[in-house]
Every structure is written in structure tokens, then in C-alpha cells.
Amino acid sequence: MSKSRPPYVPFKLDPTGTMHLVVTSLAAIPSELDDALTEVELWTVAHAGPGIPAPAAEHLHPFRSPTELLAQLESRLGRAAIGLRLYAIGSEAFIWDAANIAVAAGLGRGEIFTYQAGPKLRRVYCTHCRTMIEDVAVNVVPCPACKASLFVRDHFSRRLAAFMGVRVDAEVPGEIPAPEEFTT
């Protein structure tokens, strides 16, 4: 694993927290939450119904999309009291978008916990034209804006919540290797 990639540990509530806000981009409640459902405020794109355990229903705040959830997060964190812990669960792009919103709202890094879950798709930042490319599954991808063929480096920027994409054929124009799927 690259040194720039954050390490992820299994979900666990921080015992020093007095309130726990879990935000997840996943369409189902992660099983790691089963023991904590009555202790957390849960924001998710999952909706009350067959996939949501009964104990979670009263603490559940469903959203139509991860984008809508993140748009409301800044306001919620602005009203937070001391002792709140934020737990972000989902893709790397989602969890680091949530973490960056939390830092901007005044939470310290020790109050924010990130857990990667779900498909291992990547957000890629084109270092040539600054375009973000979502849901990339392979290591060579065309940039939709500048049309450069990008090699997706295993360098993750927490600030941008994205992996870096650099021109794959910069030294030998036109020499583009076959894409390979990411394994991690």
C-alpha cells in the first residue's frame, strides 16, 4: 500500500465521544454498525424498509444521494456540541469529502473517523486540467476534458479526496498500456 494512502481500521465507536454521527454513502447499513445502532445518529442514502434494522429507524436520516447528504453535513456540524464524533463510511472519495467538511466546520482530526467500504472505485484528479473523474475502476483512463490518457497513480490526496492522474504517454506519445483493474 502506498504511504500516501490512509490506513483504515474496523469500525468502532470512540468511547470518549458523547454524541456519534455516522454518515454513509452506502445503500445498506454496514454490518459493523449492528451493535451501535441505538447509540448513533445515522445519515445514509439507505431508506427505512427491509434493509434497515428496527433499532436504527428512530435515529435514521435518509437522503436521496451522497451529494445531498454532504450538502447538509456542513449545517449539521455547525450546530454540533463538544464531544461529537463523526464516522464516515463509504468510498474513499465520499469519506474524505465528509472529513474535509468536518475539518472546515471545526472538528479536529481526532474527532473524525473514516472507514472505506463498498466498491473500490476511485475518484481521479487530472493533474493537467484539474478535472475530477468519478468511479474509475482501471489504472489508465481518458480525461473527459483534456482528452489526455491518464495513469492513475497510487497517490491519494486527502485534500482533494482523489487519486492523482498523470499523462501516461508523456515520454513516448501514443504509447498507452492496456488498462488493468484495481485490486485494492
pLDDT of residue 56: 56
Handedness of CA 65, 71, 77, 79 (dihedral sign): negative
- What mean pLDDT is predicted for residues 10-18? 91
pLDDT of residue 47: 58
Instruction: For residue 65, count CB atoms less than 10 angstroms from its CB and return exposed for 0-12, middle for 13-18, buried for 19 or more.
Output: exposed
Residue type, 99: A
Pairing of strands 112-116, 122-126: unpaired
Q: pLDDT per residue over 71-130, tens digit each? A: 999 999 998 889 999 999 999 999 999 999 999 999 999 999 999 988 889 999 999 999
Q: pLDDT per residue over 34-60, tens digit each? A: 777 778 899 988 655 555 555 556 678
182, 138 in Cβ contact below 8 A? yes
Query: Got the DSSP string for 49-107?
Result: STTS-HHHHTTEEE-SSHHHHHHHHHHHHHTPPTTEEEEEEE-HHHHHHHHHHHHHTT-
Enter the pTM of the model: 0.85
List of domains in the chain: 19-116 (3.40.50.80), 122-167 (no CATH)
